[in-house]
Structure 1
Amino acid sequence: MKGIDHIGIAVHSLEKALPLYTGTFQLSHIKTEVVESQKVKVAFIDVNNSKIELLEPTSDDSTIKKFLDKKGEGIHHIAFKTDDIYAAHMYIVRLAAIAIFRQRQRKKLFIW
């Protein structure tokens, strides 16, 4: 991993959320665009060598709308930079397998 590419934050309204980042935090708003395939409007905010993506749903069947309904506004995802996506994916899969194995082992310890 070479760092964080961007952090996706789900919000109900870009209009209400943007002033926090551009005003209070004094970050630069790069652009806003609609991503039809994901059913979201995205505001890109510059954070030095990374970005924040504010994600506003454009449809009630958007994944972001479902996230907001279930969890409220907040971090939706973190995207990392890498030169080798396959190796990064395999690394994460191995970590998940280890975590699942350890969880199962802990449960076995407490079975009487």
Structure 2
Amino acid sequence: MVRRIEHIAIAVKDVETSVRLFETLLGKSCGSIETLPDERVKVAFFELDGGRIELVEGIGSDNPTSKFIERRGEGLHHICLEVEDLPETLRLLHAAGFPLIDTAPKPGSSGTRVAFLHPKGCNGVLIELVEQPSEA
């Protein structure tokens, strides 16, 4: 069902400032900063061998990422797992009793489809599931 850890996301107050910090830390450049209006976030990814690091900044004070930072401060936000068939994975996890935040896939960055599992069913960790765009 799960293919690999796709990325680890870090909630940040200012993605541009954090990009500069992580470029120095990782010794590599960020690809680009993408705004996802439906999710009300700006994201930046760093490609690493075997996965990526995502920096996530909430747009406005009333979105989940901004509320997360308000409660907990900047830091680890979620772990993203790549799956082959997101609708089927959601069906199987729901049947197994996992609490779903998203019952159906929604658009993610770079043409992906994503859905989230509630942390209360995953030992306190927010889990994002991602399906890569088909190469058809």
Q: TM-score, normalised by structure 2?
A: 0.61
Q: How large is the Cα RMSD of the aligned pairs?
A: 2.3
1:23: how far off? Answer: 0.8
CA contact (8 A) 1:28 1:45 kept: yes
State the one-letter code of the partner of 1:94: A
CA contact (8 A) 1:6 1:52 kept: yes
Q: Secondary structure at the match of 1:29?
A: coil
State the one-letter code of the partner of 1:35: L
- 2:66 corresponds to 1:54: no
Q: Secondary structure at the match of 1:33?
A: strand
- 2:67 corresponds to 1:66: yes
The structure in which a higher percent of residues are helix is 1
Superposition map of 1:96-111 within 5 A: 96=98
Q: TM-score, normalised by structure 1?
A: 0.73
Query: Number of aligned pairs?
Result: 98
Higher RCO, 1 vs 2 (CA within 8 Å, ≥6 residues apart): 1
Superposition map of 1:1-112 within 5 A: 1-86=2-87, 88-89=89-90, 90-91=92-93, 94=96, 96=98
State the one-letter code of the partner of 1:69: E
Change (3 A) 1:23 1:92: farther
1:70: how far off? Answer: 0.8
Same amino acid, percent of matched pairs:
30
